[in-house]
Amino acid sequence: MPWPFRKPPPLNHQLEKMRADWDLRARENARHFIATTQEQWTDEEFFSSGELAVKQLILSDMANICQDRQPSGMRVLEIGCGVGRITRALAQTFGEIYAVDVSGEMIEQARTALAAFPNAHLYRNNGTDLSVVPDIPFDFAFSVIVFQHIPSQSIVENYIREVHRLLRPGGLFKFQVNGIAHCGRLGRILPARLRRATPANTWLGAPVSEEEALRMAERSGFECRYRLGAGTQDFWLWFFKPE
Ligand SMILES: C[S@@+](CC[C@H](N)C(=O)[O-])C[C@H]1O[C@@H](n2cnc3c(N)ncnc32)[C@H](O)[C@@H]1O
Protein backbone atom coordinates (compact mmCIF):
# COMPACT_ATOMS: atom_id res chain seq x y z
CA MET A 1 0.00 0.00 0.00
CA PRO A 2 1.52 3.43 -0.91
CA TRP A 3 2.37 5.98 1.77
CA PRO A 4 0.50 7.91 3.30
CA PHE A 5 -2.17 5.20 3.54
CA ARG A 6 0.27 2.73 5.13
CA LYS A 7 0.90 2.66 8.87
CA PRO A 8 4.20 4.44 9.67
CA PRO A 9 7.07 2.18 10.79
CA PRO A 10 7.82 2.05 14.54
CA LEU A 11 9.73 5.03 15.93
CA ASN A 12 12.94 3.06 16.54
CA HIS A 13 13.04 2.04 12.84
CA GLN A 14 12.60 5.66 11.77
CA LEU A 15 15.42 6.77 14.09
CA GLU A 16 17.75 4.01 12.90
CA LYS A 17 17.07 5.05 9.30
CA MET A 18 17.80 8.71 10.12
CA ARG A 19 21.09 7.79 11.78
CA ALA A 20 22.16 5.42 8.98
CA ASP A 21 21.34 7.95 6.23
CA TRP A 22 23.10 10.87 7.95
CA ASP A 23 26.13 8.73 8.80
CA LEU A 24 26.36 7.84 5.12
CA ARG A 25 26.01 11.47 4.03
CA ALA A 26 28.69 12.45 6.57
CA ARG A 27 31.09 9.83 5.20
CA GLU A 28 30.36 10.73 1.58
CA ASN A 29 30.60 14.53 1.74
CA ALA A 30 29.38 15.98 5.05
CA ARG A 31 29.95 19.60 4.11
CA HIS A 32 27.97 19.32 0.87
CA PHE A 33 25.00 17.66 2.56
CA ILE A 34 25.07 20.38 5.23
CA ALA A 35 25.42 23.34 2.90
CA THR A 36 24.31 22.14 -0.53
CA THR A 37 25.21 25.31 -2.47
CA GLN A 38 28.73 23.93 -3.05
CA GLU A 39 30.02 20.44 -3.78
CA GLN A 40 33.45 21.20 -2.29
CA TRP A 41 34.15 23.59 0.55
CA THR A 42 37.49 24.76 1.91
CA ASP A 43 37.72 25.00 5.71
CA GLU A 44 37.66 28.75 5.47
CA GLU A 45 34.63 28.95 3.18
CA PHE A 46 32.67 26.41 5.17
CA PHE A 47 33.20 27.88 8.63
CA SER A 48 32.78 31.44 7.29
CA SER A 49 29.33 30.37 6.08
CA GLY A 50 28.55 29.37 9.69
CA GLU A 51 29.81 32.72 10.97
CA LEU A 52 27.66 34.53 8.42
CA ALA A 53 24.59 32.52 9.46
CA VAL A 54 25.24 33.32 13.12
CA LYS A 55 25.65 37.00 12.26
CA GLN A 56 22.36 37.07 10.34
CA LEU A 57 20.26 34.84 12.60
CA ILE A 58 21.71 35.40 16.06
CA LEU A 59 23.91 38.49 16.38
CA SER A 60 21.16 40.56 14.76
CA ASP A 61 18.65 39.30 17.32
CA MET A 62 20.55 39.65 20.61
CA ALA A 63 17.76 41.55 22.42
CA ASN A 64 15.48 38.48 22.16
CA ILE A 65 18.31 36.01 22.71
CA CYS A 66 20.27 37.57 25.58
CA GLN A 67 17.61 39.67 27.32
CA ASP A 68 20.27 41.81 29.08
CA ARG A 69 22.55 38.85 29.86
CA GLN A 70 26.18 38.90 28.77
CA PRO A 71 26.68 36.33 25.94
CA SER A 72 29.89 35.14 27.63
CA GLY A 73 27.82 34.08 30.65
CA MET A 74 25.17 32.22 28.65
CA ARG A 75 24.66 28.49 28.14
CA VAL A 76 23.36 27.60 24.66
CA LEU A 77 21.83 24.42 23.24
CA GLU A 78 22.01 23.49 19.54
CA ILE A 79 20.00 20.69 17.93
CA GLY A 80 21.47 19.03 14.81
CA CYS A 81 24.97 20.52 14.89
CA GLY A 82 26.36 18.50 11.97
CA VAL A 83 30.14 18.96 11.77
CA GLY A 84 30.03 22.12 13.90
CA ARG A 85 29.64 24.80 11.22
CA ILE A 86 27.29 26.89 13.39
CA THR A 87 28.58 25.49 16.70
CA ARG A 88 32.04 26.92 16.14
CA ALA A 89 30.65 30.42 15.57
CA LEU A 90 28.40 30.04 18.63
CA ALA A 91 31.39 28.97 20.73
CA GLN A 92 33.17 32.21 19.78
CA THR A 93 30.30 34.28 21.16
CA PHE A 94 28.65 32.42 24.03
CA GLY A 95 29.99 30.98 27.28
CA GLU A 96 29.03 27.30 26.91
CA ILE A 97 27.57 25.38 23.95
CA TYR A 98 25.94 21.97 24.20
CA ALA A 99 25.20 20.49 20.79
CA VAL A 100 23.55 17.21 19.72
CA ASP A 101 23.31 15.33 16.45
CA VAL A 102 21.77 11.97 15.54
CA SER A 103 24.82 11.04 13.45
CA GLY A 104 27.93 9.73 15.19
CA GLU A 105 29.91 10.40 12.00
CA MET A 106 28.89 14.08 12.05
CA ILE A 107 29.77 14.33 15.75
CA GLU A 108 33.23 12.82 15.14
CA GLN A 109 33.95 15.46 12.49
CA ALA A 110 32.52 18.17 14.76
CA ARG A 111 34.93 17.10 17.52
CA THR A 112 37.85 17.78 15.19
CA ALA A 113 36.41 21.16 14.12
CA LEU A 114 35.86 22.17 17.74
CA ALA A 115 39.05 20.78 19.26
CA ALA A 116 40.21 24.29 20.15
CA PHE A 117 36.93 25.15 21.91
CA PRO A 118 36.73 23.56 25.37
CA ASN A 119 33.43 25.42 25.93
CA ALA A 120 31.71 23.28 23.25
CA HIS A 121 30.23 19.94 24.37
CA LEU A 122 29.12 17.52 21.66
CA TYR A 123 26.78 14.54 21.95
CA ARG A 124 25.41 11.92 19.61
CA ASN A 125 21.75 11.64 20.60
CA ASN A 126 18.96 9.23 19.71
CA GLY A 127 17.31 11.53 17.13
CA THR A 128 14.27 12.40 19.19
CA ASP A 129 15.12 13.66 22.68
CA LEU A 130 17.77 15.46 24.74
CA SER A 131 18.33 12.82 27.43
CA VAL A 132 22.09 12.79 26.65
CA VAL A 133 22.40 16.47 27.60
CA PRO A 134 23.03 17.29 31.29
CA ASP A 135 19.88 18.38 33.07
CA ILE A 136 20.99 22.00 33.60
CA PRO A 137 19.24 25.25 32.67
CA PHE A 138 19.92 26.71 29.22
CA ASP A 139 19.57 30.40 28.33
CA PHE A 140 18.97 29.96 24.61
CA ALA A 141 18.31 27.09 22.18
CA PHE A 142 18.77 27.11 18.41
CA SER A 143 18.31 24.86 15.39
CA VAL A 144 18.74 25.53 11.67
CA ILE A 145 18.45 23.22 8.61
CA VAL A 146 17.60 20.24 10.82
CA PHE A 147 13.85 20.00 11.38
CA GLN A 148 13.36 20.53 7.63
CA HIS A 149 14.87 17.04 7.21
CA ILE A 150 12.94 15.24 9.98
CA PRO A 151 10.20 13.14 8.37
CA SER A 152 7.89 13.06 11.36
CA GLN A 153 6.24 16.09 12.91
CA SER A 154 5.84 14.24 16.21
CA ILE A 155 9.66 13.97 16.48
CA VAL A 156 9.95 17.72 15.93
CA GLU A 157 7.32 18.29 18.60
CA ASN A 158 9.16 15.99 20.99
CA TYR A 159 12.30 18.13 20.57
CA ILE A 160 10.22 21.22 21.31
CA ARG A 161 8.97 19.63 24.54
CA GLU A 162 12.52 18.61 25.43
CA VAL A 163 13.84 22.12 24.89
CA HIS A 164 11.05 23.43 27.09
CA ARG A 165 12.24 21.03 29.82
CA LEU A 166 15.82 22.37 29.67
CA LEU A 167 15.30 26.06 28.94
CA ARG A 168 15.25 28.56 31.82
CA PRO A 169 11.98 30.46 32.30
CA GLY A 170 11.95 33.41 29.89
CA GLY A 171 14.46 31.70 27.56
CA LEU A 172 14.07 31.56 23.77
CA PHE A 173 14.07 28.59 21.42
CA LYS A 174 14.64 29.97 17.91
CA PHE A 175 14.36 27.39 15.16
CA GLN A 176 13.58 26.80 11.51
CA VAL A 177 11.17 24.29 10.05
CA ASN A 178 10.03 23.43 6.56
CA GLY A 179 6.87 25.42 5.89
CA ILE A 180 6.18 23.99 2.43
CA ALA A 181 3.56 21.28 1.96
CA HIS A 182 5.14 19.04 -0.66
CA CYS A 183 2.12 17.74 -2.48
CA GLY A 184 1.78 20.68 -4.87
CA ARG A 185 -1.76 21.15 -6.16
CA LEU A 186 -2.86 17.88 -4.56
CA GLY A 187 -1.81 19.30 -1.18
CA ARG A 188 -4.69 21.74 -1.25
CA ILE A 189 -7.32 19.03 -1.38
CA LEU A 190 -5.66 16.54 0.96
CA PRO A 191 -6.35 16.77 4.69
CA ALA A 192 -3.31 17.90 6.72
CA ARG A 193 -2.64 14.42 8.13
CA LEU A 194 -2.02 13.13 4.60
CA ARG A 195 0.32 15.96 3.59
CA ARG A 196 3.36 14.28 5.09
CA ALA A 197 6.85 13.44 3.97
CA THR A 198 7.38 9.68 4.12
CA PRO A 199 9.21 8.15 7.12
CA ALA A 200 11.63 6.46 4.72
CA ASN A 201 12.74 9.82 3.32
CA THR A 202 15.21 11.43 5.72
CA TRP A 203 15.97 14.33 3.40
CA LEU A 204 12.53 15.85 2.88
CA GLY A 205 11.11 16.65 6.30
CA ALA A 206 7.50 16.92 7.37
CA PRO A 207 6.08 20.36 6.62
CA VAL A 208 4.76 22.55 9.45
CA SER A 209 1.94 25.00 8.78
CA GLU A 210 1.40 28.17 10.77
CA GLU A 211 -1.57 26.62 12.60
CA GLU A 212 0.42 23.47 13.42
CA ALA A 213 3.30 25.59 14.77
CA LEU A 214 0.95 27.52 17.02
CA ARG A 215 -0.67 24.31 18.28
CA MET A 216 2.75 22.76 19.00
CA ALA A 217 3.77 25.87 20.97
CA GLU A 218 0.60 25.74 23.01
CA ARG A 219 0.80 21.99 23.70
CA SER A 220 4.47 22.31 24.74
CA GLY A 221 3.96 25.29 27.05
CA PHE A 222 5.69 27.90 24.86
CA GLU A 223 4.57 31.31 23.74
CA CYS A 224 5.12 31.66 19.98
CA ARG A 225 5.95 35.38 20.03
CA TYR A 226 7.13 35.79 16.44
CA ARG A 227 7.07 33.79 13.22
CA LEU A 228 8.48 34.54 9.81
CA GLY A 229 8.31 32.79 6.44
CA ALA A 230 5.23 30.59 6.91
CA GLY A 231 4.65 28.52 3.76
CA THR A 232 8.34 28.68 2.76
CA GLN A 233 11.33 26.40 3.28
CA ASP A 234 12.64 28.84 5.89
CA PHE A 235 9.79 29.10 8.35
CA TRP A 236 11.32 30.64 11.50
CA LEU A 237 9.75 30.41 14.92
CA TRP A 238 10.54 32.24 18.16
CA PHE A 239 9.22 30.15 21.06
CA PHE A 240 9.62 31.78 24.50
CA LYS A 241 9.26 29.77 27.69
CA PRO A 242 6.94 31.81 29.93
CA GLU A 243 8.49 33.28 33.12
C1 LIG B 1 21.82 19.90 6.85
S2 LIG B 1 22.66 19.42 8.30
C3 LIG B 1 22.76 20.98 9.18
C4 LIG B 1 23.84 21.00 10.26
C5 LIG B 1 23.94 22.31 11.02
N6 LIG B 1 22.69 22.67 11.64
C7 LIG B 1 24.41 23.43 10.11
O8 LIG B 1 23.58 24.28 9.73
O9 LIG B 1 25.59 23.47 9.79
C10 LIG B 1 21.42 18.52 9.20
C11 LIG B 1 21.95 17.87 10.44
O12 LIG B 1 20.85 17.43 11.22
C13 LIG B 1 21.14 16.17 11.75
N14 LIG B 1 19.87 15.49 12.05
C15 LIG B 1 18.97 14.99 11.17
N16 LIG B 1 17.94 14.44 11.82
C17 LIG B 1 18.18 14.62 13.15
C18 LIG B 1 17.50 14.26 14.33
N19 LIG B 1 16.33 13.61 14.29
N20 LIG B 1 18.04 14.59 15.52
C21 LIG B 1 19.24 15.22 15.59
N22 LIG B 1 19.95 15.57 14.50
C23 LIG B 1 19.43 15.27 13.29
C24 LIG B 1 21.95 15.48 10.67
O25 LIG B 1 22.72 14.40 11.14
C26 LIG B 1 22.80 16.63 10.15
O27 LIG B 1 24.01 16.70 10.84
**CATH code for the domain in which residue 188 is found:** 3.40.50.150
- DSSP at 238: E
pLDDT value of position 188: 53
pLDDT value of position 193: 47
Residue 1 covered by a domain: no
- Cβ(145) to ligand 1 under 6 A? yes
Condensed to tens digits (0 to 9), the pLDDT of residues 139-183 reads 999 999 999 999 999 999 999 999 999 999 999 999 999 999 865
- Cβ(176) to ligand 1 under 6 A? no
Ligand 1 mutation pick, 146, 150, 152, 204, max ligand atoms within 8 A of CB: 146
Residue 97 covered by a domain: yes
Number of domains in the chain: 1
**What are the CB-based long-range contacts (under 8 Å, 24+) for 24-27?**
25/103, 26/83, 26/103, 26/105, 26/106, 26/109, 27/105
Name the more confident of 8 and 207.
Answer: 207
pLDDT value of position 5: 55
Is pLDDT at 3 greater than 70 in this prediction? Answer: no
Is pLDDT at 1 greater than 80 in this prediction? Answer: no
Q: Which residues pair with 121 in a beta bridge?
A: 98
Residue 3 covered by a domain: no
Condensed to tens digits (0 to 9), the pLDDT of residues 90-110 reads 999 999 999 999 999 999 999
Residue 169 covered by a domain: yes
Residue 148 CA to ligand 1 center (angstroms) comes to: 9
Residue nearest to atom 27 of ligand 1 (CA): 82
**What is the overall mean pLDDT for the chain?**
92
The model's pTM is: 0.93
3-state secondary structure 67-118: CCCCHHHCEEEEECCCCCHHHHHHHHHCCEEEEEECCHHHHHHHHHHCCCCC
Give the whole-angstrom CA distance, residue 163 versus residue 142: 10
Residue 165 covered by a domain: yes
Ligand 1 mutation pick, 29, 87, 101, 147, max ligand atoms within 8 A of CB: 101
- Cβ(146) to ligand 1 under 6 A? yes
pLDDT value of position 135: 98
Residue 63 covered by a domain: yes
Per the structure, the complete domain to which residue 115 belongs is given by 11-240
Residue 200 covered by a domain: yes
Residues in the chain: 243
Segments of the chain assigned E as strands: 75-79, 96-101, 120-124, 138-143, 167-177, 223-228, 235-240
Instruction: Tell me the CB-side half-sphere exposure of residue 191, using CA atoms within 13 A.
Output: 3
- Cβ(46) to ligand 1 under 6 A? no
Give the whole-angstrom CA distance, residue 158 versus residue 236: 18
Residue 4 covered by a domain: no
Condensed to tens digits (0 to 9), the pLDDT of residues 182-218 reads 655 555 555 454 455 566 688 989 999 999 999 999 9
- Cβ(85) to ligand 1 under 6 A? yes
